[in-house]
Amino acid sequence: MSDVALTQNRSRAKFWSFARPILLRLLYGLVSLLFISLITFVADEIAPGDAATARAGEKASLAQVEKLREEMGLNRPWPIRYVEFLGNASRLEFGETTVGVPTPINKLLAESLPISMKIAVMAICLAAFFGILFGTIAAIRENKLADRGILSFSTLGVTIPNYVLLPILVYVFALQLDVLPTSYELPNRQVAPEIFYLIIPVVVLALRPMATLTRLMRASMVDTLKQEFVRLSVAKGTPPFRLYAVHCFRNALIPVLTAIGTSFGYLLTGSFVVETAYLVKGIGFLAIDAITKKDTPLILATTLVTGFLFIVVNLLVDLVLPMVDPRIRESQV
């Protein structure tokens, strides 16, 4: 076999070693989306009431509800309606809301998704920055006062729920100190930049992943500092900053990057309560409103979009990890 053929075979093998895990991830993601949508559809189907009952109102007769159910196509078997929904969703056509004034669901998603993404990105950046920083400091100062203080803070951050922290921050910073708004939707909202109205929900959502990343970074950094190559670097006289920033930090960061992807998924789902309580018209607010009104198409649309974003973020993390740690890239070859 010629050198050119050998080179081509190696290039092809290298490409497939890189592409295969990505394709498998996409396949698993597609199966997960189908499973999530099916569970959501069935759960909505067996729950009391339906969109026709919600649209007709409490005073409507059974005959009126049945007529409305027939007009909306809800009297057809649910498997047929589910397959029809999947066909439309594959073309990014989610239809219209079935409760209240019919509104294109794509329009609602286009209005709400950017807000939720903005909050999630700001929260994960805040959580990642301070989580990695505090975790590194705690590891370097292991069993010292700084370490104990950071661990106590991270324990508090993991245990306190969002629905408890949110009213506390609103009471302190909005009602008592009057330095932040009480909600996202206010009559005079245009007098300040939008980020001003997102500070409280971003901080609330960032606290738990920040605490989790802090503890994970500390544990990973402590383990890295005990490795043989660290002792050899110290013996060779490597400056402390170079030792921590170049040799230890990069190795300790691997599990943290994976956790960041998972934390982003938590932020998308955990924002439901925060957005509803703080009147942020994001996808979480939209989902809770759809569940309350039994608006099945809107429930399914918000579920699929949230699941899709979660899968995409984790896929991006899988692509970044081999760039950070060459050992992962070599194991895929």
* Mean pLDDT in consecutive groups of 10 residues from the start of the chain, 333 residues: 59 67 80 86 78 74 81 82 86 82 88 90 93 91 91 91 91 90 69 80 93 92 82 75 74 83 77 87 89 84 86 77 58 50
pLDDT for the residue numbered 108: 92
pLDDT for the residue numbered 234: 72
DSSP β-bridge partners for residue 96:
104
Distances (CA, A) of 249 to 147, 220, 254: 17, 9, 9
Nearest to 132 by CA among 225, 302, 252, 279: 252
Q: Where are the beta strands (DSSP E) in 178-246?
A: none
pLDDT for the residue numbered 15: 62
Which H/E stretch holds residue 248? none
Q: What are phi and psi of 229, to 5 degrees?
A: -65, -25
| Rg from Cα positions in the chain | 25
288 close to 276: Cβ distance less than 8 angstroms: yes
pLDDT for the residue numbered 150: 94
pLDDT for the residue numbered 228: 78
Report d(CA 296, CA 257) in Å as an integer.
Answer: 35
305 close to 238: Cβ distance less than 8 angstroms: no
- In this structure, the dihedral spanned by the alpha carbons of residues 275, 277, 278 and 282, taken in order and rounded to 10 degrees, is 20
Length of the chain (residues): 333
Report d(CA 33, CA 29) in Å as an integer.
Answer: 6
Report d(CA 276, CA 333) in Å as an integer.
Answer: 47
pLDDT for the residue numbered 30: 84
pLDDT for the residue numbered 23: 80
Which H/E stretch holds residue 47? none
pTM passes above 0.95: no
The angle at the Cα of 283, spanning 105 to 305, to the nearest 5 degrees, equals 70
End-to-end CA distance of the chain: 21
CATH class, 105-332 region: mainly alpha
Report d(CA 213, CA 264) in Å as an integer.
Answer: 12
Nearest to 154 by CA among 206, 116, 202: 206
pLDDT for the residue numbered 149: 94
Distances (CA, A) of 281 to 100, 191, 287, 291: 17, 19, 10, 15
pLDDT for the residue numbered 322: 66
